[in-house]
Amino acid sequence: MTKSLYETLKLKYKTNTAIGCIFNVTRQSVSHWKVNGIPENIALLCHLSPQIQYKYNPIDFGRVNKGLKLNLETTKKVTTNDSIKRVRNADVNHDSCAP
């Protein structure tokens, strides 16, 4: 029988407080993971960590035949500085270099 991710974390870090510190959540949140299961974002972090022996399984989180997507939405329009007139160093008045 394989251990749950919660059991794996508990064996490695010993207390809910220590687990909470690692993932920046409260001890109370970690205690709910035993009953409700570990959140998907925490499972992904565990999968990416070389210190934690865990392989993320999308089926455990209801992602049957769905690929994961990285959606990066921006609200700002990307602009360039093409309209700015370029100035050569020779054309700049260097007051600090004057004799």
The DSSP output letter for 52 is S
Distance CA 38, CA 30 (A): 8
pLDDT averages per 10-residue partition of the chain, 99 residues? 81 92 92 90 91 87 71 69 58 49
Q: Check residue 93 and give its pLDDT.
A: 54
Please calculate the CA angle 8-51-49 and round it to the nearest 5 degrees. Answer: 100
Q: Check residue 3 and give its pLDDT.
A: 73
